[in-house]
Structure 1
Amino acid sequence: MVRPADVTWSRPAVVALAVLTTLVSLLGGVGVLPAGPASAGSGAVSASLASQTVLPDGRRGPRTVQATAPALPDDSGRGTRVVFSIGEQRVWLVEAGERGDVVRRTHLASGSVYDNLQPGTFEVYSRSRHATGIGDSGTMEYFVRFTRGANAAIGFHSIPVSDGEPVQTRGQLGTPLSHGCIRQWRPDARALWDFAPVGRTVVVTA
């Protein structure tokens, strides 16, 4: 039986090992390397992630997770268009393709607490990069108007800011909370702004 030879460490090797150990510890502390093993549930998709924006490659927000975009509502039209479901409080950006329509992005939104928008097909007629709401509804960005209500235009825009604070949280999207328009998280509002010039079709479903 052959016994393994005893290992003799030289002083330079000991110093190098100590430096390496310290470096790994420091990198772990600042997040370059993992500071410890990941928990068994770290790969699970949380409930909050499930409500976030779904991009065409399956990414939700800033983190990449496997996701399936919610299906388009029935009778939501054809061709390049914006679709808003009143019941689901969700927006889809749909682009016509050679092999059929493709959902480029979908995200939750907050429509009106009032019954001021009926299902139908509309067209973007006006846009404002910055806008001010009526009454105490604050200021908003990326306002894309597609129809008119009794007292004001109705369209998509970012969550309004009043007295320096958003009037609702991102987590509240998916619940009707607006005075008439359709509120979106700012990155989603900008994406819709880029997607929907004047003349773009907007389909509203029940």
Structure 2
Amino acid sequence: MASGSAGIVTGLTAAALAAVGFLAHQAATHVPAELSARQGGKAAAIVSKAPRDKRHPTALPGNSGIGERVVYSLDDDRVWLVGADNKVRRTFRVTPSPVDPAPGSYTVTSRSGAVTGSDGIPVEHVVRFSVVKGVVIGFSAAKDGSMQSPDPSVRTGGIRQSRVDGDEMWYFATIGQKIVVIR
């Protein structure tokens, strides 16, 4: 009888392991993992593009983090300034740079009130948060108010916003502020 119960235990254990493996596979393929990869020594949020609400295109995407943060969608060319209560304070469109940061979680590393952008245009309220292969990535507003698309053949990292939106970003995104980049 002992060998019969050992066989039952072995069978149940194998079935349990198979069920756990199946559930883990389902979770990995259907639920985006927040902080499932490492990037540059920092945890990076791997966030799949959530289905966007077509009737509310400015709605904050799901899986974009929690707490006070700036959310930047690469696919939507849109930014959300989100308060500690997870409520959107402001959202606006941006003109992306030719060099994109990888999806993930960053922090504001430096800021400049006014400089000349890497494309030669005078900019203000520069908020930097990443470097990609030597190209500094950050938000800025052109002093002349322009938001035209940059030359795609030139490797620049300035994500352009209007001057009004640049003012809001400047006051919201201080050194250390969390920036979440999503697809």
TM-score range normalised by the length of the shorter chain: 0.5 to 0.7
Corresponding residue of 1:184: 161
Deviation at 1:184, TM superposition (A): 0.1
Corresponding residue of 2:181: 204
SS in 2 for 1:74: coil
Corresponding residue of 2:124: 141
Note the aligned Cα RMSD (angstroms). 2.4
Which protein is bigger by CA-based radius of gyration? Answer: 1
Question: Structure 2: any 5+ residue segments left out of the alignment?
Answer: 1-55
Q: Distance in 2 between matches of 1:203 and 1:167?
A: 22
Q: Distance in 1 between matches of 2:78 and 2:105?
A: 16
Deviation at 1:74, TM superposition (A): 2.4
Are positions 1:153 and 2:141 aligned together?
no
Q: Distance in 2 between matches of 1:197 and 1:103?
A: 17
Question: Structure 1: any 5+ residue segments left out of the alignment?
Answer: 1-67
Corresponding residue of 1:120: 104
Deviation at 1:139, TM superposition (A): 1.4
Contact 2:129/2:138 (8 A) holds in 1: yes
TM-score (norm 2): 0.61
Deviation at 1:87, TM superposition (A): 0.3
Deviation at 1:150, TM superposition (A): 2.0
Are positions 1:84 and 2:72 aligned together?
yes
Q: Distance in 1 between matches of 2:141 and 2:94?
A: 9
SS in 1 for 2:166: helix
Q: Distance in 2 between matches of 1:196 and 1:152?
A: 20
Are positions 1:73 and 2:61 aligned together?
yes
SS in 2 for 1:105: strand
Residues paired across the two proteins, number: 125
